[in-house]
Amino acid sequence: MGMITEIVIAFFLVVSGVFGLVGSFGLIKLQSTLQRLHAPTKATTLGVGGVLIASMLYFLLVKGSFSFHELLITLFLFLTAPITANFIAKTFMQAHLKDSDLPPTGRDHGWSLYDMPPGSTED
């Protein structure tokens, strides 16, 4: 294995470790749920994603085989982590905030959690 290959793989592992550590520290130190939500989302996306990219590079550059499974896991992770964070944030907003607590949106129907969209009927 060449020196440049080792440096590139080590770089991705170190960067992913730093993001994992910072995300864990943020999860412990931040006070509100919405602040805590940000730290593990970044740790998951960038930390685990960095490990998967390092593993893909290892198998491609050292073993000579492309790891399609890890590419799919990385893409799935990059797509699902932000969507999951959005769902958790909306659930927190619906459970803990009132419409009057939120800033105005400048639209006719305000926040999507509290106002009915055009053309819908309220039960």
Q: In the prediction, which pLDDT does 113 show?
A: 59
Query: Using one digit for the tens of pLDDT, what is the confidence trace for 56-78?
Result: 999 998 888 888 888 898 888 88
Select from 7, 42, 15, 50 the least CA-distant residue to 26.
42
Helix, strand or coil, per DSSP, at residue 20: helix
> pTM for this one?
0.69
**CB–CB of 44/76 below 8 Å?**
no
How far is the C-alpha of 99 from the C-alpha of 86, rounded, in Å? 18
Tell me which of 77 and 17 has the higher pLDDT. Answer: 17
Residues 6+ apart with CB under 8 A from 89: 34, 37
How far is the C-alpha of 6 from the C-alpha of 70, rounded, in Å? 19
Domain boundaries, the chain: 3-100
How does residue 115 score in pLDDT terms, banded at 50, 70 and 90? low
Least confident of 14-18, 80-84, 100-104: 100-104
